[in-house]
């Protein structure tokens, strides 16, 4: 089974590339983030024509997540259980489904904006709620993974120049400690160093020639339980999808499982 996660940065803008990539890559399940569309406006029909069902969590603003599957969708969940509110409600940042015997969560972790901002505290609260969800769902023999844009670089090696992030979010100890909380819940980072490229980055800013100069970050992550990690036979960042006109600022992270 081939599973992927991809922050598409607007599914409307990226739909032609997504459809072409699904056809060429042979991906069975893909977790999407930053849909920037409502569940009602989600382009379900062209995806259905390719054989993909979808569970969608979106409200038309800048968030939104989905799980696409051509191997079935069972036990779907929309929203993070016991997740915190922000600005009067729960943002659409999580969705889950069991697909062909594998349980996946698609997550778009809050950015945090800047240290000391209410959104930073919200980010840490959100990650704590995610840890509680992992504690409940990760145990057992069912392969289980939380995939998506975590907006956290796990180590200094996961940013192109850590000195440029001094005093900024994405690299702070509280954020990284929250990732450690997922490990204590029984999950591990199953793509710490993608096998097909020397650099592990998954995101490059549109500004300042971020991609051509490889000024990137590894913030799109796959955390899986032991049955999931044991089944991983290959993994890579599809850098080709960051190239060319109309690309997202994130590349897909692809994991091949032997179940």
Catalytic residue list contains 170: no
In total, the chain counts a number of residues equal to 259
Q: Give DSSP secondary structure letters for 237-257.
A: E-GGGGSSTT--SB--EEEEE
CA distances from 13 to 8, 18, 34, 97 (A): 9, 10, 11, 25
Distance of CA 229 to the CA centre of its chain: 17
Candidates 28, 52, 108, 220; catalytic one: 108
Give the chain's count of helices (H) and strands (E).
5, 14
63 known ligand binder: no
The whole-angstrom separation of Cα 175 and Cα 170 is 7
Phi, psi torsion values for 9, nearest 5 degrees: 50, 60
- Tokens encoding 143: 């392969």
Q: Are 33 and 5 in contact (CB under 8 A)?
A: yes
7 known ligand binder: yes
The whole-angstrom separation of Cα 136 and Cα 243 is 39
Candidates 28, 149, 220, 238; catalytic one: 149
Q: Which residues pair with 173 in a beta bridge?
A: none
118 by Cβ neighbours in 10 Å (0-12 / 13-18 / 19+) ranks as exposed
23 known ligand binder: no
Catalytic residue list contains 120: no
Q: Choose among 62, 54, 9: nearest CA to 38.
A: 62
249 known ligand binder: yes
- Annotated binding residues for Mg(2+), written as ranges, equal 7, 34, 149, 151, 249-250
Report, as residue numbers or ranges, the catalytic residues.
108, 149, 250
């Amino acid at each position: 089974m081939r599973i992927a996660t991809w922050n598409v940065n607007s599914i409307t803008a990226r739909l032609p590339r997504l459809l072409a990539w699904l056809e060429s890559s042979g991906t069975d399940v893909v977790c999407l983030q930053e849909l920037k569309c409502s569940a009602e406006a989600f382009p379900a029909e062209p995806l259905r024509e390719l054989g993909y069902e979808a569970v969608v969590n979106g409200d038309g603003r800048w968030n939104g997540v989905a799980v696409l599957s051509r191997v079935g969708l069972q036990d779907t969940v929309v929203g993070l259980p016991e997740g915190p509110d922000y600005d009067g409600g729960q943002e659409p940042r999580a969705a889950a489904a069991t697909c062909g015997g594998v349980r996946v969560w698609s997550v778009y972790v809050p950015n945090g904006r800047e240290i000391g901002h209410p959104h930073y505290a919200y980010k840490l609260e959100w990650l704590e709620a995610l840890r509680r969800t992992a504690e409940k769902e990760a145990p057992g023999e069912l392969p289980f993974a939380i995939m998506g844009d975590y907006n956290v670089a796990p180590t200094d090696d996961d940013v192109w120049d850590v000195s440029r992030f001094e005093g900024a979010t994405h690299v702070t100890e509280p954020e990284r400690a929250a990732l450690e909380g997922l490990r204590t819940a029984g999950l591990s980072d199953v793509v710490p160093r993608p096998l097909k490229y020397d650099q592990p980055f998954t995101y490059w800013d549109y500004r300042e020639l971020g991609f051509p100069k490889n000024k990137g970050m590894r913030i799109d992550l796959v955390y899986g339980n032991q049955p999931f990690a044991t089944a991983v036979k290959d993994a890579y960042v599809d850098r080709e999808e960051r190239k060319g006109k109309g690309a997202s600022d994130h590349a897909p992270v692809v994991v091949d499982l032997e179940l």
